[in-house]
Amino acid sequence: MEGRGVLVLIVGLSLLGTFQTAQSSGVQENSLFLPAFLWSDQSYFDGTHHTKYETMPAESVMKGLLHGLVQASNNTVLDARQPSLLLVFVGQQIRTKHLGGPESIESALAPLKKALGDSQSSLVLPYVTLSTKRAHLAVALQQGLSRAAYQGARIGQVAIAGPCAAALAETELISTAEVRAYLGKRADEREAGSTDVLVVCSSAAAGDASSEADCLVSEVAEMAEVHEAVKETTSDYLAAYLTDPSDGTRLGRTHRVLQALNEDPAAGNATTCNELCKTKAVIIETALIGLLLIVILLCGLSCEFQLDTPTKFEVARD
């Protein structure tokens, strides 16, 4: 009887484990395939222009960029170069299907192709996976910069422009119109041997009356304007174009609300959850799971007690 009760308990735990596994596998499979473009006015990518068709996650692309800064700062690689500026433009419109697409799409991407062609070296990654259950690329990049600085990368000032600016902290917040003036100022103030980081999130959003090509034209034109400002003010730079279809404007609004609530918890009748609150939440979750397991065990025992088995066997007749 006890063995059957334990069996019911094991079955209940297995069902919970199966449910959690299904959730985690669903998150991994739910991803997007988007392109990434990297280029430089120096020979950062072996001095060549090439395309890498290997599928890789966006996190690996950013880690690769930042790892190069760490290597250059620590002199761990003989030919590693330390750029004066790392430009990361986070767009929303470009998809892998647009590469080699119809003529209207090809013409919309012309400024980006020109930037790659005019550079000393470039790398195109057509198949970058982007999980839908993840932080905005600008937020993930800032976290990566903190880790790179801890590993020894000499990172100067980090500036954010565009709708995602309000989502990030401990950075210089500027508007897209101020990018050229900001870069000119930093060219005079930047310390030798350090790399400034400029993250620009696209403000081009698809409207009801906007076609796919029009959205691409608007976004790529914005990127080209920022890139032109970088070329005029910085002699040694590394640029990257990453696609994140998340709504940067909504992201900015959300973080502004959270920032306001953190500064004034009474605003909007908000309640903050401190360490004690988090501990209580964990205890309540554990208690609920334990209660569920006890119910499963009692159900098994109840089924066991309902079995009516004979107490003795009848003596066989001759």
Q: pLDDT tens across 80-103, in order?
A: 678 889 999 998 888 888 888 788
Average pLDDT over residues 121-146: 83
| Residue 2: how many other CB atoms lie within 10 Å | 8
Sequence-distant (≥ 6) Cβ neighbours of residue 102 within 8 angstroms: none
User: Which is more confidently placed, 221 or 176?
Assistant: 221
Residue 81, classed as helix, strand or coil, is coil
In this model, does residue 108 exceed pLDDT 90?
A: no
Query: Which residue reads 């409207």 in tokens?
Result: 207
Residue 301, classed as helix, strand or coil, is helix
Average pLDDT over residues 246-253: 54
In this model, does residue 29 exceed pLDDT 90?
A: no
Angle 215-218-224 (CA atoms, 0-180°, nearest 5)?
135
Give the pLDDT band of residue 12 (cuts 50, 70, 90). Answer: very low
Handedness of CA 67, 71, 74, 76 (dihedral sign): positive
Q: Among 22-36, 122-136, 239-253, name the one with the lowest average pLDDT.
A: 22-36
- Tell me the C-alpha distance between 241 and 132, whole Å: 19
Kindly give the interhelix angle for 212-233 and 179-189, rounded to the nearest 10 degrees.
30
In this model, does residue 77 exceed pLDDT 50?
A: yes
Q: Which of 150-154, 216-220, 266-270 has the highest mean pLDDT?
A: 216-220
Angle 166-64-61 (CA atoms, 0-180°, nearest 5)?
60
User: Which is more confidently placed, 18 or 117?
Assistant: 117
Burial of 87 (0-12, 13-18, 19+ CB in 10 A): buried
Written as six digits, the tokens of 88 are 């990361």
- Tell me the C-alpha distance between 228 and 251, whole Å: 27
Written as six digits, the tokens of 305 are 């007690």
Written as six digits, the tokens of 115 are 């930037």
- Beta-bridge mates of residue 32: 130
User: Which is more confidently placed, 113 or 15?
Assistant: 113
Q: Which helix (H) or strand (E) holds 56?
A: strand 56-57
Looking at residue 31, what is its pLDDT?
A: 59
**Is 191 within 8 Å of 156 (Cβ atoms)?**
yes
Looking at residue 125, what is its pLDDT?
A: 92
Give the pLDDT band of residue 296 (cuts 50, 70, 90). Answer: very high
Looking at residue 318, what is its pLDDT?
A: 63
| Residue 309: how many other CB atoms lie within 10 Å | 4
Q: Among 18-27, 48-57, 145-154, 242-251, name the one with the lowest average pLDDT.
A: 18-27
Residues making up the chain, counted from first to last: 318
In this model, does residue 230 exceed pLDDT 80?
A: yes
**Is 236 within 8 Å of 85 (Cβ atoms)?**
yes
Looking at residue 294, what is its pLDDT?
A: 93
Looking at residue 258, what is its pLDDT?
A: 43
Half-sphere exposure of 258 (CA within 13 A, CB side): 11
E strands, the chain, in order = 31-40, 49-51, 56-57, 85-91, 121-131, 155-161, 172-174, 195-201, 237-243
Looking at residue 168, what is its pLDDT?
A: 59
| Residue 173: how many other CB atoms lie within 10 Å | 13
